A = this chain, B = another copy of it.
Amino acid sequence: MRDIQNQKDLREIDIQKAGVKGIKYPIVVLDRAHGTQHVNATINIYANLPHQFKGTHMSRFVEILNEFRGQINIKTFHTILQEIKDKLHAESAHMDIEFPYFIEKIAPVSGAKSLMEYRCFFSGQNNKGNSSDFLVGVVVPVTTVCPCSKEISEIGAHNQRSMVTVKVRFKKFFWIEDLIRLVEESASGEVYSLLKRVDEKYVTEKAHQNPMFVEDVVRNVAQQLNKNVNFLWYSVEAENFESIHNHSAYAYVEKNSKGSFT
């Protein structure tokens, strides 16, 4: 059979990323409390394609995933990228892994236990000359109470669920549990799966004593990240699903922002 992908290409256009996108795959990630956790991930894997080649051998990406089945995590990430470069004869390799991660939380007064889901992602690249890049991200639901509404109203204050997305570049291994914790402590209040009435009283009061704009949340998270020398870079965004509007309030802060955008 002819290998169409290996044919010459004359258009002289290098492709930065070619590969497979949106593969659903069960993986096993590291879990501080239990050693490991089985999760259902969505994965993208790409390699560069130099201008002289017509196509990438897409099936090889899936073969590499199968090889590492059961061992796809933060520690093996760069080995997988190296394998992609080798098997695809590529100069750069890129992988994104997105997955739900469950942590047991304890309700603040009753002590009732329940599982909370957090969306997490790893995104990394290995380039020519072996320079590499790696991001870890978490999406953490929290509660925010509006300081303006609280100040001006006789009773109550509007509040809502907010999603905080943090991405970090870092020096050495850390537990995503700690990053999630840092975010939860930076908002008006935490979100739980199970709260009894005594807990509901506690979280309501705590949040109202601790009102925060969406801008306050990203600044609090940034301030904590600034204190930790392990984090070389970060971006923090928060989105409030406003209870009095049908749109979101939003804030974004990035360490060492160059001000450009795509």
Give chain A's interface residues, CB within 8 Å of chain B.
1-5, 9, 11, 13-26, 37-40, 44, 46, 49, 54-56, 58-59, 62-63, 66, 69, 92, 94, 100, 102, 112-117, 123, 125, 127, 133, 135, 141, 143, 145-161, 167, 189, 191-198, 200-201, 203-205, 207-209, 213-216, 218-220, 222-223, 235, 239, 241-254, 257, 259-262
B216 engages A54 (CB within 8 Å)? yes
Q: Show 13 A/B contacts (Cβ-Cβ < 8 Å), sorted by A.
A: A1-B152, A4-B148, A11-B223, A21-B248, A39-B40, A55-B213, A59-B195, A63-B112, A127-B259, A154-B205, A156-B205, A193-B245, A193-B247
> CB-nearest residue of chain B relative to A53?
B215
> CB-nearest residue of chain B relative to A156?
B208
- List chain B residues, Cβ under 8 A from A156: 145, 150, 156-157, 159, 204-205, 207-208
A200 engages B244 (CB within 8 Å)? yes
- A102 → chain B, closest Cβ, in Å? 5
A46 engages B252 (CB within 8 Å)? yes
> CB-nearest residue of chain B relative to A250?
B21
Known: A94-B261, A159-B159. A24 touches B100 (CB 8 A): yes
- List chain B residues, Cβ under 8 A from A245: 20, 161, 191-193, 195
Give Cα A193 to B148, complex, Å.
17
Give Cα A1 to B216, complex, Å.
21
- List chain B residues, Cβ under 8 A from A3: 197
Known: A213-B5, A244-B204. A59 touches B196 (CB 8 A): yes
Give Cα A177 to B260, complex, Å.
28
A244 engages B191 (CB within 8 Å)? yes
> CB-nearest residue of chain B relative to A213?
B55
Of B17, B113, B145, B203, which one neighbours A250 at CB under 8 angstroms? Answer: B17
> CB-nearest residue of chain B relative to A238?
B18
Give Cα A157 to B203, complex, Å.
10
With A11-B219, A133-B260, A156-B204 already in contact, 17 other A-B pairs whose C-beta atoms are closer than 8 Å: A1-B151, A16-B253, A17-B252, A22-B248, A25-B117, A55-B148, A66-B114, A154-B205, A156-B156, A156-B207, A158-B203, A161-B246, A191-B244, A195-B244, A204-B244, A207-B244, A235-B262
> CB-nearest residue of chain B relative to A240?
B21
A117 engages B24 (CB within 8 Å)? yes
